[in-house]
């Protein structure tokens, strides 16, 4: 039996590639050592959204009086929340499994290791069986970075320190939660446990939270969460974990923060170890990511890679698109990956969504731009639904071409309408053209249209 | 009332006629019975008389046009009269369209197969209908990439619709920095050319001078037709094989040097290396009569004398006059006669009888530095010798390496008549004889 395509890793890149390849008639096999759906579906994007929605309802209940609705005795049942999360994950995982089956993809429940190149292409071994295929796609994703900090290993083994996996399984809300790393995962979990009743402290090494998000928006988000009671320690470096505290240095002083649990979310690294890529000579970057070109090809002919493993964007939707680019190229269709219009969302309450350039990146690139920065209160629905809301929308326009190059929004629903801004960037429509588009009224997304009329 | 005059149908099998001459021009007064134009079928010539009086308001074809029968040739009426009612569709361009229609289809096919970002054919982009232009602009398409299928190479709407499918299209933002006709690599959505792509630049179309004439047509003179036919006939009727050999040209070069130095004093003609090759070949051929022969369907005729055809390059084309009985000529005679028939060929005064009857041919491209070639045999002859230029080669003599001038010979044989080995033997003999040229003078 010889396969047209062998895929290692069943996360967003792997399962989508398998579906597309199978649909196109390629004889496809997929190896997944843990769960189909990968980190995204099982212990990342999707379960965290289930949790955050519960938190949002609870928040609404608690703040309902602002809108003239009072709830008595509202409470959050963590066990029930986790139970529902499991149901959501199960539904979606079985959906993916069904799609794979419908597209005639053979799924192997086990760890596929690349053995060698053979006369027929490549060999993968899995549980002492050897599989042969003419093409290979590596979609092994990424793993949380666990830095060599004193005490972390023990703290993790003791269940005191957690990664994104464990934090989504907690059936008891910790009284005190320390979050190390104020990026997307850290903030979303800080947001959830803050709503659920934890006393949350975020320790971040940089002078800002939310990574590459627009600085101004990052400040607004921080302000919102400080109001809700989260403590932020920026420019703080964690030096030690004990069995009930995190020790960090800030402004030259050493501070010990007591905690019941600590989430370590300082980033993720490509998963390229122990999968046998050295057996066929796939080239890696210094940081251990697989080097791919804009068609998803590695340095080895007929070996492709997509998703977090290439270290480029580390987002599930990027992985989807990269996987499609790979499959299209395998099928001989012209396609290439572009990274200039990839949206990013933080599902906090309020949500933050952005795509394209921020003022910082535009300045770095030397783009001659103009920025419209307007209050979300220009959108009628935002005012109606966000009592005391302080969100903003920033639209960046390249002056030379009169085209939109970046949009950043803080405000709920922005996760759902940011794709519209991606569309503007991807198609390079001019501002004048976009002004002719009709937006539904009243909606929150109208704020983009309002901002464009500043130009 | 304007009257349309059509190209008459002469007989049931005639589908088109050629316009030989217009006797009236546009604007001329026409009386009943006046001859309007003369036209011809492949057998006969006819005059078209006018059956109406008036002014020749419009003509739709030119002299030498091949016009399908029953098409409107011209319109006669009162001056200033509206002739739109009788104007045929696409009137003034009908002939051009007919002439180019076949070609256009081919180009269109080629174009659609080509990649989307292939450079457009630089040309007159002004030839575009307003409707097509508008559509191209709206769709962000560069009409320079469109394949014109309209009359007279005009780009019409359907060409733009085709272009919409095959690309390349330009994003709205990139339109400001896009240079029409440049081949950019489109990296945007669906292969669109983005602003960043235009910044990277592309391969600019080659600017073409408006007055630049791409090609010129020349009717084939008779001699070219004859050469074409002879060459094609030669290659299509024979199994031609070319073998190459070279020889040390020291002997003939030294001999020529000696003749040059002393020749004028003694009143000798200027002997060229070519003359010496002709002389030696004629002598050598007598021992290899299979190559001094005519090959016909069932007979091989071996000659006991050598009528040497000598290829001559003339302004009008290749001519091959014959040196009859060259094997019995002295070197001086060979030289003088060759010069004579070559001069006659070049001036066009040569007696046609001298252009036939050869039993073997020599063609000399050596003076132009050709190192080896495949001469085309002159039927019914069985072989032709190509004389190549001189190059310096090295050889080992008495344990040391020395350079020597080497001259190449390319012999094409008709393998139907002669085999390779006898041909090689002849060539070997010829080379030996040329290397010992002084001895040949005694032969």
pLDDT mean over A75-95: 97
Burial A179-216 (b: 16+ CB within 10 A, else e): bbbbbbbbbbbbbbbbbbebbbbbbbeeebbbbebbee
Closest-CA residue of B relative to A426 is B189
Task: Locate the domains of chain A by residue range.
Answer: 2-144+269-330, 152-266, 344-452
The predicted-structure confidence for A107-155, as pLDDT tens digits, reads as follows 999 999 999 998 889 999 999 999 999 999 999 999 999 999 999 999 9
Confidence at residue B109, expressed as pLDDT on a 0 to 100 scale: 42
Percent residues over pLDDT 90 in chain A: 97
Question: Cα distance from A354 to chain B (closest Cα, Å)?
Answer: 20
Confidence at residue B115, expressed as pLDDT on a 0 to 100 scale: 40
Assign domain A152-266 to its CATH architecture: 3-Layer(bba) Sandwich (3.50)
Given B173, B187, B192, which is nearest A402 (Cβ)? Answer: B173
List, in order, residues 6 or more apart from B222 with CB less than 8 Å away: none
Question: Cα distance from B119 to chain A (closest Cα, Å)?
Answer: 18
Question: Cα distance from B172 to chain A (closest Cα, Å)?
Answer: 5
For residue A319, what are its two tokens? 């992985």
Whether chain B has a CB inside 8 Å of the CB on A328: the answer is no
Which residues in chain B are closer than 8 Å to A336, comparing Cβ atoms? 187
Confidence at residue B91, expressed as pLDDT on a 0 to 100 scale: 44
Confidence at residue B157, expressed as pLDDT on a 0 to 100 scale: 87
pLDDT mean over A239-262: 95
Which residues in chain A are closer than 8 Å to B177, comparing Cβ atoms? 400-401
pLDDT band at B207 (very low <50, low <70, confident <90, very high): low
Q: Which residue has the tokens 């799924």?
A: A107
Given B173, B189, B192, which is nearest A403 (Cβ)? Answer: B173
Residue-averaged pLDDT of chain A: 96
Domains in chain B, ordered, with CATH? 3-88 (2.40.50.100), 100-200 (no CATH), 222-440 (3.30.559.10)
Confidence at residue B442, expressed as pLDDT on a 0 to 100 scale: 82
Closest-CA residue of B relative to A401 is B173
Burial A334-370 (b: 16+ CB within 10 A, else e): ebebbebbbbbbbbbbbbbbbbbbbbeebeeeebebe
Whether chain B has a CB inside 8 Å of the CB on A71: the answer is no
Percent residues over pLDDT 70 in chain A: 100
pLDDT mean over A82-94: 97
pLDDT over 60 (residue B105): no
Closest-CA residue of A relative to B195 is A401
Confidence at residue B262, expressed as pLDDT on a 0 to 100 scale: 82
List, in order, residues 6 or more apart from B66 with CB less than 8 Å away: B16, B17, B18, B98
CB contact under 8 A, B173 and A336: no
Tell me chain A's radius of gyration from C-alpha atoms.
23
How far is B429 from B419, CA to CA, in rounded Å? 16
Alpha helices per DSSP H over B304-419 = 331-347
Q: B337 with B323: CB under 8 angstroms?
A: yes
Given B189, B191, B195, which is nearest A401 (Cβ)? Answer: B195
Single out the residue of A274, A191, A188 nearest to residue A230, CA to CA.
A191
- The DSSP 8-state label assigned to residue A350 in this structure reads S
Whether chain A has a CB inside 8 Å of the CB on B177: the answer is yes
pLDDT mean over A320-343: 95
Given A334, A336, A433, which is nearest B172 (Cβ)? Answer: A433
How far is A118 from A122, CA to CA, in rounded Å? 5
Q: B382's torsion region: left (phi>0), alpha (psi -120 to 50) or beta?
A: alpha
pLDDT over 70 (residue B182): yes
pLDDT mean over B312-319: 87
Q: A418 with A345: CB under 8 angstroms?
A: yes
pLDDT mean over A424-432: 92
List, in order, residues 6 or more apart from B318 with CB less than 8 Å away: B227, B311, B312
The predicted-structure confidence for A161-170, as pLDDT tens digits, reads as follows 999 999 999 9
The predicted-structure confidence for A396-416, as pLDDT tens digits, reads as follows 999 999 999 999 999 999 999
Lowest mean pLDDT among B48-52, B119-123, B403-407: B119-123
pLDDT band at B193 (very low <50, low <70, confident <90, very high): confident
- For the structural domain made of A2-144+269-330, what CATH number should be given? 3.50.50.60
Confidence at residue B43, expressed as pLDDT on a 0 to 100 scale: 64
How far is A297 from A316, CA to CA, in rounded Å? 19
pLDDT over 80 (residue B23): yes
pLDDT over 50 (residue A316): yes
Residue with the bigger pLDDT between B201 and A77: it is A77
The predicted-structure confidence for B84-95, as pLDDT tens digits, reads as follows 777 765 444 444
Quick check: is A441 catalytic?
yes
| DSSP-derived secondary structure for B73-95 | EEEEE-TT---TTTPPTTGGGHH
Lowest mean pLDDT among A291-300, A314-323, B294-303: B294-303
Neighbours of A291 (CB within 10 A): 14
- For the structural domain made of A344-452, what CATH number should be given? 3.30.390.30
Q: Kindly provide the ipTM of the predicted complex, given to two decimals.
A: 0.72
Residue with the bigger pLDDT between B24 and B207: it is B24
Whether chain B has a CB inside 8 Å of the CB on A426: the answer is yes
For residue B423, what are its two tokens? 């041909």
CA B437 distance to own-chain centroid = 40
pLDDT over 80 (residue B376): yes
CB contact under 8 A, B174 and A428: yes
Percent residues over pLDDT 70 in chain B: 88
Whether chain A has a CB inside 8 Å of the CB on B174: the answer is yes
pLDDT mean over A25-42: 96
Question: Cα distance from B242 to chain A (closest Cα, Å)?
Answer: 45
Whether chain A has a CB inside 8 Å of the CB on B138: the answer is no
Confidence at residue B106, expressed as pLDDT on a 0 to 100 scale: 43
pLDDT over 50 (residue A196): yes
The predicted-structure confidence for A179-190, as pLDDT tens digits, reads as follows 999 999 999 999
Whether chain B has a CB inside 8 Å of the CB on A237: the answer is no
Confidence at residue B209, expressed as pLDDT on a 0 to 100 scale: 67
Predicted model pTM:
0.63
Q: B60 with B72: CB under 8 angstroms?
A: yes
Which residues in chain B are closer than 8 Å to A398, comparing Cβ atoms? 173, 195
Confidence at residue B308, expressed as pLDDT on a 0 to 100 scale: 96
Closest-CA residue of A relative to B186 is A336
Name beta bridge partners: A121.
A118
pLDDT mean over B230-238: 91
Helices vs. strands in chain B: H and E counts, helices first: 10, 18
Confidence at residue B88, expressed as pLDDT on a 0 to 100 scale: 66
pLDDT over 70 (residue A214): yes
Instruction: Please pick, among A281, A441, A453, A454, the residue that the annotation labels catalytic.
Output: A441
Residue-averaged pLDDT of chain B: 84
Q: Which residue has the tokens 């709830």?
A: A71
A2-144+269-330 and A152-266 share one fold: yes
Size of interface A-B (CB pairs under 8 A): 43
pLDDT band at A393 (very low <50, low <70, confident <90, very high): very high
Confidence at residue B126, expressed as pLDDT on a 0 to 100 scale: 61
Closest-CA residue of B relative to A397 is B173
| DSSP-derived secondary structure for B168-207 | -BB-TGGGGT--TT-B----SGGGPBPHHHHHH--BPPPP
Q: Of chain A residues 270-309, which have a CB less than 8 A from chain B?
A: 294
How far is B398 from B150, CA to CA, in rounded Å? 77
């Amino acid at each position: 039996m010889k396969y047209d395509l062998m895929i290692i890793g069943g996360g967003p890149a792997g399962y989508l590639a398998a579906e597309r390849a199978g649909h196109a008639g390629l004889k496809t096999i997929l190896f997944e050592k843990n769960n189909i759906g990968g980190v995204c579906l099982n212990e990342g994007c999707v379960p965290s959204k289930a949790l955050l929605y519960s938190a949002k309802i609870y928040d609404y209940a608690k703040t309902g009086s602002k809108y003239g609705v009072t709830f008595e005795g509202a409470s959050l049942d963590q066990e029930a929340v986790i139970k529902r999360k499991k149901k959501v994950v199960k539904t979606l995982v079985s959906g993916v499994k069904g799609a794979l089956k419908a597209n005639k993809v053979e799924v192997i429940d086990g760890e596929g290791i690349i053995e060698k190149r053979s006369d027929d292409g490549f060999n993968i071994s899995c549980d002492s069986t050897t599989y042969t295929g003419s093409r290979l796609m590596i979609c092994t994703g990424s793993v949380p970075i666990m830095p060599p900090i004193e005490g972390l290993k023990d703290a993790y083994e003791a269940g005191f320190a957690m990664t994104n996996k464990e934090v989504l399984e907690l059936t008891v809300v910790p009284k005190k939660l320390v979050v190390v790393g104020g990026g997307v995962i850290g903030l979303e979990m800080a947001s959830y446990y803050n709503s659920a009743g934890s006393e949350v402290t975020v320790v971040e090494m940089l002078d800002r939270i939310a990574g590459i998000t627009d600085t101004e928006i990052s400040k607004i988000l921080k302000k919102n969460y400080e109001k809700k009671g989260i403590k932020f320690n920026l420019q703080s470096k964690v030096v030690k974990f004990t069995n009930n505290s995190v020790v960090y240095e800030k402004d030259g002083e050493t501070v010990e923060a007591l905690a019941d649990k600590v989430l370590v979310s300082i980033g993720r690294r490509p998963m390229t170890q122990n999968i046998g890529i050295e057996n066929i000579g796939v080239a890696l970057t210094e940081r251990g990511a697989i080097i791919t070109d804009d068609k998803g090809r590695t340095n080895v002919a007929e070996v492709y890679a997509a998703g977090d493993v290439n270290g480029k964007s580390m987002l599930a939707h990027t992985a989807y698109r990269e996987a499609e680019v790979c499959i299209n190229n395998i099928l001989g269709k012209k396609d290439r990956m572009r990274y200039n219009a990839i949206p990013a969302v933080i599902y906090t309450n309020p949500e933050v969504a952005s795509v394209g350039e921020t003022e910082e990146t535009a300045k770095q690139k030397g783009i001659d731009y103009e920025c419209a920065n307007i209050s979300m209160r220009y959108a009628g629905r935002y005012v109606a639904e966000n009592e005391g809301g302080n969100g903003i929308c920033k639209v960046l326009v390249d002056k030379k071409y009169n085209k939109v190059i970046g949009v950043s929004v803080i405000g709920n629903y922005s996760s759902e309408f940011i794709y519209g801004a991606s569309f503007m960037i991807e198609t390079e429509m001019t501002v004048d053209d976009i002004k002719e588009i009709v937006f539904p009224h009243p909606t929150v997304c109208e704020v983009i249209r309002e901002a464009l009329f500043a130009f | 009332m304007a009257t349309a005059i059509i190209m008459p149908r002469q007989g049931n099998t005639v589908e088109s006629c050629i316009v030989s001459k217009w006797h009236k021009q546009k604007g001329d007064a026409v009386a009943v019975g006046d001859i309007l134009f003369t036209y011809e079928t492949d057998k006969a010539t006819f005059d078209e008389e006018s059956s109406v009086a008036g002014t020749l308001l419009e003509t739709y074809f030119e002299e030498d046009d091949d016009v399908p029968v029953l098409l409107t040739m011209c319109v006669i009426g009162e001056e200033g009269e509206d002739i739109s009612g009788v104007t045929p569709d696409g009137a003034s361009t009908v002939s051009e369209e007919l002439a180019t229609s076949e070609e256009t289809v081919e180009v269109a096919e080629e174009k659609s197969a080509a990649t989307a970002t292939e450079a457009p054919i630089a040309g007159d982009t002004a030839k575009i209908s307003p409707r097509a232009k508008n559509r191209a602009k709206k769709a962000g398409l560069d009409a320079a990439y469109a394949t014109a299928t309209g009359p007279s190479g005009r780009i019409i709407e359907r060409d733009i619709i085709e272009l919409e499918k095959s690309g390349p299209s330009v994003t709205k933002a990139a339109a400001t920095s896009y240079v029409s006709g440049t081949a950019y690599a489109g990296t945007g959505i669906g292969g669109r050319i983005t602003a960043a792509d235009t910044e990277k630049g592309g391969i600019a179309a080659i600017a073409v001078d408006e007055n630049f004439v791409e090609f010129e047509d020349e009717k084939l003179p008779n001699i070219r037709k004859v050469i074409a036919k002879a060459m094609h006939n030669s290659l299509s009727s024979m199994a031609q094989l070319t073998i190459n050999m070279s020889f040390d040209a020291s002997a003939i070069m030294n001999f020529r040097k000696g003749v040059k130095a002393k020749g004028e004093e003694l009143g000798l003609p200027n002997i060229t290396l070519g003359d010496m090759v002709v002389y030696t070949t004629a002598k050598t051929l007598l021992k290899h009569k299979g190559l001094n022969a005519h090959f016909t369907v069932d007979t091989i005729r071996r000659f006991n004398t050598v009528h040497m055809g000598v290829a001559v390059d003339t302004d009008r084309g290749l001519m091959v006059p014959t040196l009859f009985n060259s094997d019995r000529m002295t070197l001086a005679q060979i030289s003088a006669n060759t010069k004579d028939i070559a001069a006659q060929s070049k001036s066009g005064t040569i007696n046609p009888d001298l252009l036939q009857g050869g039993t073997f041919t020599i063609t000399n491209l050596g003076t132009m530095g050709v190192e080896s070639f495949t001469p085309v045999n002159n039927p019914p002859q069985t072989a032709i010798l190509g004389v190549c230029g001189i190059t310096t080669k090295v050889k080992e003599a008495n344990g040391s390496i020395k350079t020597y001038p080497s001259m190449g010979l390319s012999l094409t044989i008709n393998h139907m008549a002669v085999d390779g080995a006898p041909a090689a033997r002849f060539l070997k003999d010829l080379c030996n004889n040329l290397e010992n040229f002084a001895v040949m003078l005694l032969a």
